[in-house]
Every structure is written in C-alpha cells, then in structure tokens.
A and B are shown apart, each in its own frame.
Chain A
C-alpha cells in the first residue's frame, strides 16, 4: 500500500542552524501539506502546496520557513534559523485532490530537537 515517507526520523540541531526536512508523498498525489505537533499539544497546520506554489499558510509559517518540491518526488520544509520553540514533530501529508472531502495521508513524522 502506498505511503508517505519522511526523513530523517529524528533531527537534532543547534539553535540558529538551518534544517531541511524531507518528505516523499504518495506518487499520484497533487496536494502536499506540512503540520507540526509540539509535545503534548495539538497538531497544527503550517502550509499547503499545489502546482509548485504555496496555496495556503498559517500564521506560524513565517519568513523562517520555506517549502519546495525540488524534483518529481520530494517535498521539503526548510527552517532557515532554528529556534528552541521549533522543537516539535513535523508531519508531511499528501492528498489526491484539494483537502475538501479528500483524505490526507500522513507520514510518520520527523522529530526535530533544537538545542
């Protein structure tokens, strides 16, 4: 069964460093998303991406964040200068169509720890 994959599973970085989190969405999906979950808190929407551009972003997704689909399979989230409060689980998701009634399939997540 096709699934969303994410690498690495755990990333430890120093405050101020850049990190890139990688995702491989399900191959025939066209819509991609990033969410984050701070330990003990709700999952929060960060950004949605379609047709090589951001379609929607939350207030969390400031200038320190960027997303890219560098090739036909990968979808990345870059944090330019990490802060302690960026420590969280980051989930990538993909869907065949726009969210609406369409199911979003989530990856296993990348745990980011900022020291």
Chain B
C-alpha cells in the first residue's frame, strides 16, 4: 500500500535551535517528494520538491534530503523562528498519477 509516515508526531523546540523531521515512504513507482508547511487553518505551502536523482535541496533555512534507495527523507530547519511553528507535511507524488500522497505531518512548536 502506498503510504507516507512521519516522525516525530510533534516537536517542541526553543527559538534559535535546529531540528530535523523524518519521513519514510512506500510509494511506488516514485516520482518526487515534497515538503509542505501548513499553518493552522490554512492550505499547505510548498517548501521543496525533489526527484529521484536529487539528494539535497535547500530553501532558505529549510534543507531537505532524500535517499531514494532507503525511501527516506528529512527536513532540517536551521535557527528556528517563532514563525516556523506549523505542521510540516511530507508528500510523495506517484509516477503516472495526478494525486499527491500526504503524510500525517509533524506539528512543530517553537517557543521563545
């Protein structure tokens, strides 16, 4: 079954600290992997998109990694800010279909 699993479910960190969120997927055939940020009550906003051949992609303080062999990805947030408080969702696109397969997300809270 095509699934996307994320850990941890929730995370609390202090402002200025770094954190890493994990994603494992079993989607096949694989097309690409995306990380989205979703603020409470809002739509998801794309942070990064990576294909099979891309190992790392950065977007400001966000750096995503992808290991297509082990079907794992991570999202590293550097020097966290209060505005980083949100859910971070790992999303995998299956080759040959339109739909995106979403993970359950990691709820990140950044405190001062």
What residue of chain A has the Cβ atom nearest to residue B105's Cβ? A42
CB <8 Å contact, B102 and A33: no
B residues near A4, Cβ cutoff 8 Å: 43
Contact partner of B98 (CB less than 8 A), chosen from A91, A99, A107, A108, is A99
CB <8 Å contact, B98 and A43: no
> How far, in whole Å, are A46 and B34 apart by their CA atoms in the complex?
19
> By the criterion of a CB under 8 Å from any partner CB, how many residues of chain A are at the interface?
28
How many A-B pairs with Cβ below 8 Å? 61
Q: A109-B41, A109-B42 are in contact. Are A103 and B49 (CB under 8 A)?
A: yes
CB <8 Å contact, B43 and A91: yes
Minimum CB–CB distance from B2 to chain A (whole Å) comes to 11
B residues near A31, Cβ cutoff 8 Å: 98
Contact partner of B99 (CB less than 8 A), chosen from A56, A89, A91, A101, is A56
Interface of B (DSSP majority class): strand
What residue of chain A has the Cβ atom nearest to residue B46's Cβ? A103
Residue among B32, B93, B97, B98 with max Cβ neighbours from chain A (10 Å): B98
What residue of chain B has the Cβ atom nearest to residue A55's Cβ? B98
- 14 A-B pairs with CB atoms under 8 Å apart are A48-B98, A48-B99, A56-B98, A58-B99, A89-B41, A91-B44, A99-B97, A99-B100, A100-B31, A103-B34, A105-B46, A106-B44, A106-B45, A108-B41
Nearest first, the 7 A-B pairs at minimum CB distance are A106-B43, A45-B99, A48-B98, A43-B102, A56-B98, A99-B98, A42-B102
A: residues with CB less than 8 A from B are: 4, 31, 33, 35, 41-45, 48, 55-56, 58, 89, 91, 93, 98-101, 103-109, 111
